[in-house]
Amino acid sequence: MESFLLGLPLSYSTLLYLGMDMAIGLFLLAMMRWVYGLWTKVDSTAQLAEKDNFAFGISVASSLFSLSIVLWSAAERASAGDYLDKSLQMIVYGVAGILLIKVGRTIHDRLILNRLDKQEQILNRNVSIALVDGASSIAMAIIVRSVLLWTKGFDLQSGIAVLTGFFVALTVMLVTTRLMERRFARDNQNDSMQEVLVRGQVALAIQHGGNLLGTALAVTAASQLLYYQPDAYISNLINWLFLALLFTLLTILLSRIAQKLILRGINLVREVDQQHNVGVASIEMALTIGMALLLTGLVS
Using N-to-C axis directions, what is the helix angle for 12-40 and 83-107, rounded to 10°? 20
Report helix angle 83-107 to 127-150, nearest 10.
Answer: 140
Query: 277 lies in which domain range?
Result: 11-299
pLDDT digits (tens, 9 = 90+) for 21-45: 788 888 888 888 888 777 778 888 8
Please give the tally of structural domains in the chain.
1
In a domain, 4, yes or no: no
Give domain status of residue 201, yes or no.
Answer: yes
Is 218 within 8 Å of 244 (Cβ atoms)? yes
Domain annotation covers residue 256: yes
Q: What percent of the chain has pLDDT over 90?
A: 36
Tell whether 3 is covered by a domain: no
Alpha-carbon distances of 95 from 74, 162, 267, rounded to whole Å: 11, 13, 45
User: In this structure, what DSSP letter does residue 108 have?
Assistant: I
DSSP string spanning 131-163? Answer: HHHHHHHHHHHHHHHHHHHHS-SSSHHHHHHHH
Give the C-alpha distances (Å, rounded to integers) separating 299 from 108, 142, 253. 29, 17, 17
The closest alpha carbon to 296, from 241, 216, 235, 227, belongs to: 216
Using CB atoms within 10 Å of the CB of residue 9, give its burial: 0 to 12 exposed, 13 to 18 middle, 19+ buried.
Answer: exposed
pLDDT digits (tens, 9 = 90+) for 39-90: 778 888 888 888 899 999 999 899 889 888 888 887 776 655 566 777 777 7
Specify if 53 maps to a domain.
yes
* Residue 284 placed within a domain: yes
pTM attached to this predicted model: 0.88
> Does residue 6 sit within a domain?
no
- How do residues 155-206 score in pLDDT, each as one tens digit? 788 888 888 888 888 888 898 899 999 999 999 999 999 999 999 999 999 9
